[in-house]
Amino acid sequence: MAADAKVFFYLFFLALSCGVFSQERDPLERVFKKGHTNNWAVLVCTSRFWFNYRHVANVLSVYRSVKRLGIPDSHIILMTADDMACNARNPQPGTVYNNVNQHINLYGDDVEVDYRGYDVTVENFIRVLTGRLPDSAPRSKRLLSDERSNILVYMTGHGGDGFLKFQDAEEVTSVELADAFEQMWQKQRYHELFLMVDTCQAYSMASRLYSPNLLAVGSSLVGEDSLSHHDDPSIGVHVIDRYTYYVLQFLEKVRPDSEATIGDLFRYTKPSLVISTPRARTDLFTRNVDKTLVTDFFGSVHNVELTNISSNVEPAHDQTDRYERN
């Protein structure tokens, strides 16, 4: 009886190894499935002028967080409409802080700004997203994503119902943003995309989205302001917005191997803290936000793609004898 059982289990495992019980012909397809293999971030501050210092601090804070969690500068497009670090009103040139204690200089020594000043326009922003930049644009200014890229798009500045201002001179509308994301989807420029907007009436920027695999959150509802958190008397302006402040507070507890989810982030940034009503749009997103890791967008993955393509490699000549003779 025992011998029969051993024979049965031997034949069973042999059948499994040969793929008898699998409908897939290629076992490698069962090991690695097409999906998310790389991360990108497009971080945009659209405000100029000293009194909008907090918006620059917002975007530099998110920049610092995604770099800490593993996204390299080569996969980050950073757009800042003003250079607060070099503003004549800055009592500490070369610095930007997001806290009155000034314990972290967000500008630091390793900030790579890809678009600054008057280069931060609606046209350039849309061109970056859709990949319609001129041939003369260097790789560092391009979003070189593909159909396996997860992309974080973070935007901060002054907004209204269905629009976000760029430098008080022009606006990007919710319709234009939605159409740009659709172009990205049609051109296979993302696998999943997470839009985070911290402006007044921010959720309105998500109202016209219609493309697949999009997740969006706004810091405030239509008709609501998005408020600043605190000021720094030494520089005379507010240094960070409330929503971004609490997003960063959450991210500071996240490590590259963290199991924290996007759902956890949404619950953490509650109205009683933010003093506005953050709202998420999840109907276009295929996954459960409570099973979607924060690091799927704010971190970086390095998956290895398996293939069954083989090639012949010529063995290297053994140099041992020659070295010994020398």
- Per-residue model confidence as pLDDT tens digits over 8-53: 555 554 444 444 344 443 444 433 444 789 999 999 999 999 999 9
What one-letter code names the amino acid at 253? K
Question: Would you say residue 6 has pLDDT above 60?
Answer: no
pLDDT for residue 192 is more than 60: yes
pLDDT at 207 over 90: yes
Are 190 and 212 within 8 A, CB to CB?
no
Using CA atoms, how far apart are residues 131 and 61, in angstroms rounded to an integer?
26
pLDDT for res 19: 44
Q: In which band, very low, low, confident or very high, does the pLDDT at 308 lie, cut at 50, 70 and 90?
A: low
> When comparing pLDDT for 302 and 240, which is higher?
240
Band of residue 82 on the pLDDT scale cut at 50, 70, 90: confident
Q: Cα 149 vs. chain centroid, distance in angstroms?
A: 10
Determine what percent of the chain is predicted with pLDDT higher than 70: 82
pLDDT band at 125 (very low <50, low <70, confident <90, very high): very high
Q: Which range among 109-118, 246-255, 298-307 has the greatest average pLDDT? A: 246-255
pLDDT at 313: 54
Mean pLDDT, residues 212-221 taken together: 98
What would the mean pLDDT of 269-276 be, rounded to a whole number?
Answer: 96
Q: Per residue in 102-125, is it b (16+ CB within 10 Å) or e — as a string?
A: eeebbbeeebebbbeeeebbbebb
| Residue with the two structure tokens 């996240």 | 254
What gap in Å lies between CA 265 and CA 34, rounded to an integer? 27
**pLDDT for position 24:** 42
Q: State the chain's mean pLDDT as an integer.
A: 87
274-300: b (≥16 Cβ within 10 Å) or e = bebebbbbbebbeeebeebbbbbbbbb
CATH code reported for the domain at 37-298? 3.40.50.1460
Q: What angle do CA 17, 23, 26 make, to 5 degrees?
A: 60
Q: Distances in Å between the alpha carbon of 272 and those of 1, 30, 53, 189? A: 68, 46, 24, 37
Residue positions annotated with a catalytic role? 158, 200
Enumerate the domain spans of the chain.
37-298
pLDDT at 103: 86
Q: What is the pTM of this model?
A: 0.84
Identify the CA nearest to 193 among candidates 266, 128, 265, 286.
286
